[in-house]
Amino acid sequence: MSALDERAATPAVPEVADFDGLRVGMVSDTGVAPAPAAGAPQLPAAVIQAPPVRDAQVTGIDWKVGVRSGSVGVRLEGIVTRWKPARRRGRGRVHQDVRLVDADGQVVERAHVTWDVPAASDVQDDESAPRVAWDVGTVAWGKHLAAGLAADEDFASAVETFDGSVGIRSGDEQVEFRIYRGSVIEVARKTPEGPTFTVTGSERAWLDLLAAGKNDLVARLGRNEFRSTGNNYQYLRIFRAIMLMVDAARLAVVEEKPSA
């Protein structure tokens, strides 16, 4: 049984290192949603009343109406999708996907929320931050992934005739993999010629894909959780390589151990 097959025996979303006990993939808040004010959206007020950790401060909310607009939410569900060191020592930035669901379990409103939170004082920058395997779209994550792909003969075969760059975007983070003659020769935020194509998903979409029981990227593309922009011909031509990149990213998550 492979490391990926063993996921069935583990929680749906494994725990990873954190700021003050707040882990990527962790359900950070569930509870009864407060009643909405007349004529006002319900979610923004509910989010502010339920911070993920004590002393957290909202720095941004990207709010959207869900699939059942007009219904009243009865439960607030939040999951941490990314954490980052902040410029101030002892502070960090936490990203959260928050959903307001009604009595039938349908999403009424949802938001991507950014928080400024207390953080471990010894975490200073992205390169030193633990649990890089979850930090999709960053250069550190890209280098980690490229190292895992270096010895993958199937990947080398899939990109043997490809000369270009593959972009991977998660939320506001994007990294590009410059590929030539079957190898990743550069990982950067931007390559000189730009990406040949880019595979894009929200932070929550990537989190769900990495934590799923199998690599079901094709099904998620069909549900519009991910999309491709750029040279569609090249994207389809080396799609097998994209699947192998996802496999490698999922394996990195399984292999990465929580901090003591």
Q: Which two tokens stand for residue 88?
A: 């101030």
d(CA 40, CA 10): 40
pLDDT (0 to 100) of residue 25: 73
pLDDT (0 to 100) of residue 93: 87
Q: Measuring CA to CA, which residue among 79, 133, 70, 135 is closest to residue 106?
A: 70
pLDDT (0 to 100) of residue 179: 98
pLDDT (0 to 100) of residue 28: 59
Q: Measuring CA to CA, which residue among 12, 24, 206 is closest to residue 130?
A: 24
d(CA 40, CA 46): 11
Q: Are 7 and 62 in contact (CB under 8 A)?
A: no
pTM, 2 dp: 0.82
Strands 197-201 and 163-170: parallel
pLDDT tens for the 260 residues of the chain, in order: 444 444 333 333 333 334 545 677 776 555 555 555 555 556 677 777 667 777 888 898 888 766 655 666 677 888 889 988 777 777 888 899 988 888 887 888 888 999 888 865 544 444 444 578 999 999 999 999 999 999 999 999 999 999 999 999 999 999 999 999 999 999 999 999 999 999 999 999 999 999 999 999 999 999 999 999 999 999 999 999 999 999 999 999 988 755 43
pLDDT (0 to 100) of residue 120: 55
Segments making up each domain of the chain, as ranges? 20-118, 132-255
d(CA 27, CA 162): 40
pLDDT (0 to 100) of residue 259: 41
pLDDT (0 to 100) of residue 99: 84
Q: Which CATH class is domain 20-118?
A: alpha beta
Superfamily of domain 132-255: SCP2 sterol-binding domain (3.30.1050.10)
